[in-house]
Amino acid sequence: MKRLGVLGGMSWESTCVYYRLINQGVAQREGGLASAPLQLHSVNFAEVAELQREARWEDAGKLLGQAAAGLERAGAQGLLIATNTMHKVAPIIQQYSHLPLLHIGDATGRALHAAGRRRVGLLGTRFTMEDAFLRQHLEQHFELRCEVPDAADRDEVHRIIFEELCQGRLVDASRQRYRQVISQLADRGCDAVVLACTEISLLIDPAAGAWPVPLFDTTALHAQAAVDWITGDTP
């Protein structure tokens, strides 16, 4: 098996989910006592969030790039950024190491394309919904059309992520608000909604309940791509 370097802690709540899903996947694939060979660098999310708020993306990319270089020195053979938002600075991070990147947009785009989806809604942080990095990746590489909620809903989706989910708080009223936003995206013609923040699946279970359109969880899809890479099932 290949050793994967993971940039985590953004937030640690979702990094725990990554760790569990990747190890469960490797155990199912390999059997017995098998677990995933991982190198984890977990950052202080408070520092990263401050750089995000101040739009200091170059500094954020440098911070994570230096962490990626450390993972490479520690023996990692590939790199996973365990967050959607910080793929915004993926090109900067890649300047600091020679590790191949398992891009969250590729894992998500392949699943959407295989399912025959063409027009998808994006739920995530304000940066993911309003900046172009993930939307353009999906549109250019997988011929998808991406939609986002209106401004008021974007504000609320973002607030719930930072004030609740990243701090381990699961609020029923917020779950209902997300359901409303998903329904509105479906009404606008979306044939799927992407949970494009690694914390959202803590609150929203795509397999639980009747959703107006299928939900695609980037955390689970990214973790599965990691399992495939670790075990050698994909390049």
Its pTM stands at 0.96
Give residue-wise pLDDT tens across range 189-224: 999 999 999 999 999 999 887 899 999 999 999 999
Q: What is the mean pLDDT of residues 74-91?
A: 98
CB atoms near residue 136 (< 10 Å): 12
- pLDDT tier, 22 (very low <50, low <70, confident <90, very high otherwise): very high
- pLDDT tier, 175 (very low <50, low <70, confident <90, very high otherwise): very high
Side chain identity, residue 89:
V
CB atoms near residue 174 (< 10 Å): 20
* Catalytic machinery residues: 83, 197
The answer to whether 86 and 198 are in contact (CB under 8 A) is no
At 6, list the tokens: 């993971």
Q: Which residues contact 8 (CB under 8 A, 6 or more apart)?
A: 15, 18, 19, 40, 41, 42, 43, 82
pLDDT at 208: 82
Distance, in Å, from the CA atom of 48 to the CA atom of 30, rounded to the nearest integer, reads 36
Give residue-wise pLDDT tens across range 111-156: 999 999 999 999 999 999 999 999 999 999 999 999 999 999 999 9
